[in-house]
Chains A and B, each alone.
Chain A
Amino acid sequence: MTRYLLVRLYSMALTMLGLTVLVFLMLRLIPGTVVEQMIGADAIASPAMVAELKRFFGLDQPWYVQYGRWLGRLVQGDLGTSWRTGKPVVALILERLPVTLELTLFSVAFALVLGVAAGLFSAVRRDQAADNVTRVGTLLGLSVPVFWQGTMLILFFSLYLRWMPPVVWVDFWADPRRNLTIMLLPALCLGTASAANIARTTRACMLDVLNSDYIRTAAAKGLASRIVVLKHAFRNALIPVVTVVGLQIGILLGGTVVVEEVFTLPGVGRLVLWSIYQRDYPLTQSTILFIAVLFMSINLVVDLLYSYLDPRIRYGR
């Protein structure tokens, strides 16, 4: 297990390195720099001033020097300072991370509960009307664009139920009830597609397992069918579901960008978007790297969990 872990970490490190190159180059290929943003259109900026600003941000250096400097600071753990706000990138990310994590967490929870329940329901009533309806439902869930869903939900709630979620953000610890009302719609939107995926996987796995020999034998032996389902089939079906859930968390992290934009939540996703528009290179680079590390770590944890759960893997292939 430890060897596997080490190999994976080494792999991650290499990937991160490659990513730094990719992100660095990609950003610098976007036209326009932070200097133009700062000068604005309405004022005279002497070439000397422009040059001074460029020098201040290190933009006058050749790209490999800029890259080297950034990388050097990175390995020391210094994520840099945001050009637009002057705040350390770490501070900005940490300010917003709880929002994104909370959103992801609630979405996963919602998706898990709804998805597993729907999948089980569907599997147990295979090919009956209920199953078909659920299957169409999951397909619809996969087909709905997240930002439109958000818009429609807001419209529905405000027009017919005369209710609007509070617009001013509060922390969970400051006011749990308010915070949850704010999170309700976004988590619903973000979690829908995942719920659909989880439902489909659960259904497929359950069907596989329900049809397998040992379950049939147990049922023939006369145990109550419900116990059969819950105890035996479920545990075995769990394994692929865990993988799917893990994958979903990664996908959700990406989806938070759009959902945060629609519901104007102060999360990391919107931070990245804003920093790209502001050409705030240190902020963009470090935040994307941060998200990538998070993403890869989650995948690593899921893989470890998977190998822990599946005894075939745990004891060597």
Chain B
Amino acid sequence: MLGSTVVVPHRLRWSRQLRRVTHSVVVVAGAVCVALIVLVAIFAGSIAPQEPDEQNFDLVEARPGAKALFGTDRFGRDVLSRVIHGTRISLYVAVTSIVVAMAAGGALGLAGGYLGGAWDNVINRVLDVFFSIPGLLLSVGVAAMRGPGVNSAVIAIAVVYVPLFARVMRGPVLAEREKEYVEAIRALGATRWVVALKHVLPNVISPFVVQGTVALSQAILIEASLSYLGLSAQPPTPSWGNMLNEGRTYLETAPWISVFPGIAIMITVLAFNLLGDGLRDVLDPSAQ
């Protein structure tokens, strides 16, 4: 960046960014896919042809066909309906955990970065501990601790991502803090909180949002892994991960039980990745 900082009114900056966002093909494509997936989740009950746990012993392990588009499993349950209902679990866990992580992590990062000094040090040290183990392992530990279940998965993923968002928030906050306009506003008598929330925050929100979208896609993958290991949604509630786990012993006789949930995961993660990628290109081109 060259020379002086120019203070641009927030309103103008937001509308400019919004225009850039809506003009990017990638973002729009991602957003549309995500919207579709969300709709599927919300209207799962109406869209799904069968109840997800309805057993039908006349149609056990049936190949995909007219009666069951994605086939049936060992209880005769319709795989298509279960995949549709599984969308709810994946989205619920991903969105809830990441929103919580963004709020908590963002607050920690803002506090640490802006307050500095001892606060920053302590927060950093604690975050370091959470960064020291691979994320999946940490989430397995947390989920096992609370007992398997959907909310355990939410907490586990949130715990893994809070440090990340804290870091993402902290860096730019530290940088912004040093800028001239902050000094100016403080000299005019504004309290630290006002400066933090009204002035510093809006400038650092873009990379945060981008990280959030990317984290959403990762959260879906982590939830699927936890489900697969039996730590998230419990059978008979269908989640894509636990469907894959159930399908493991049926690979030879009924592979469709394993194929379709995986494709669902892939498409959903791809959609969020597209959205995240696009947003990153538009909002924060300097970040990698």
Tell me whether A and B are bound partners: yes
Residues on A facing B (Cβ under 8 Å) = 11, 14-16, 18-19, 22-23, 26-27, 29-31, 139-140, 142-149, 151-152, 154-155, 158-159, 201, 204, 240, 250-251, 253-255, 257-258, 261, 272-273, 276, 288, 291-292, 295-296
Residue in A140, A147, A159, A240 whose CB lies within 8 Å of B225: A147
Give A256's nearest chain B residue, CB to CB. Answer: B134
- Known A148-B258, A291-B134; further 16 A-B contacts with Cβ < 8 A: A15-B128, A15-B131, A16-B132, A18-B126, A22-B130, A27-B145, A142-B273, A143-B266, A148-B262, A148-B265, A151-B248, A155-B255, A276-B144, A291-B133, A292-B132, A295-B132
Asked if B288 and A201 make an inter-chain contact with CB atoms under 8 angstroms apart, the answer reads: yes
Asked if B258 and A151 make an inter-chain contact with CB atoms under 8 angstroms apart, the answer reads: yes
Q: Which of B48-56, B135-143, B184-192 contacts A (4 or more CB under 8 A)?
A: B135-143
Residues on B with C-beta less than 8 A from A146 are: 225
Quick one: which of B264-288 are within 8 Å of A by CB? Answer: 265-267, 269-270, 273-274, 277, 288
B129 CB within 8 Å of chain A: yes
Asked if A143 and B273 make an inter-chain contact with CB atoms under 8 angstroms apart, the answer reads: yes
Q: How far is the CA of A142 from the CA of B276 in the complex (A)?
A: 12
Given contacts A29-B145, A147-B244, contact A11 B128 (CB under 8 A): yes
Given contacts A142-B269, A155-B258, contact A272 B137 (CB under 8 A): yes
Quote the shortest CB–CB distance from B143 to chain A (angstroms): 10
Given contacts A151-B262, A257-B140, A272-B137, contact A143 B217 (CB under 8 A): yes
Quote the shortest CB–CB distance from B133 to chain A (angstroms): 5
Complex A-B: 13 CB contacts under 8 Å: A15-B131, A18-B128, A139-B270, A139-B274, A145-B265, A147-B244, A152-B258, A154-B251, A255-B136, A258-B136, A288-B137, A295-B132, A295-B134
Quote the shortest CB–CB distance from B116 to chain A (angstroms): 18
B36 CB within 8 Å of chain A: no
Quick one: which of B103-152 are within 8 Å of A by CB? Answer: 125-126, 128-137, 140-142, 144-145, 147
Residues on A with C-beta less than 8 A from B137 are: 254, 257, 272, 288, 291
Classify the interface of chain B: helix, strand, loop or mixed: helix
Asked if A292 and B133 make an inter-chain contact with CB atoms under 8 angstroms apart, the answer reads: yes
Quote the shortest CB–CB distance from B131 to chain A (angstroms): 8
B259 CB within 8 Å of chain A: yes
Residues on B with C-beta less than 8 A from A22 are: 129-130
Classify the interface of chain A: helix, strand, loop or mixed: helix
B70 CB within 8 Å of chain A: no
Residues on B facing A (Cβ under 8 Å) = 125-126, 128-137, 140-142, 144-145, 147, 217, 221, 224-225, 228-229, 241, 244, 247-248, 251-252, 255, 258-259, 261-262, 265-267, 269-270, 273-274, 277, 288
Residues on B with C-beta less than 8 A from A273 are: 140, 229
Asked if B140 and A276 make an inter-chain contact with CB atoms under 8 angstroms apart, the answer reads: yes
Q: How far is the CA of A26 from the CA of B133 in the complex (A)?
A: 13
Q: How far is the CA of A27 from the CA of B269 in the complex (A)?
A: 31
Residues on B with C-beta less than 8 A from A144 are: 262, 266, 269
Quote the shortest CB–CB distance from A221 to chain B (angstroms): 28
Asked if B132 and A15 make an inter-chain contact with CB atoms under 8 angstroms apart, the answer reads: yes
Quote the shortest CB–CB distance from B240 to chain A (angstroms): 8
Quote the shortest CB–CB distance from B142 to chain A (angstroms): 7
Residues on B with C-beta less than 8 A from A23 are: 141
Q: How far is the CA of A291 from the CA of B138 in the complex (A)?
A: 11
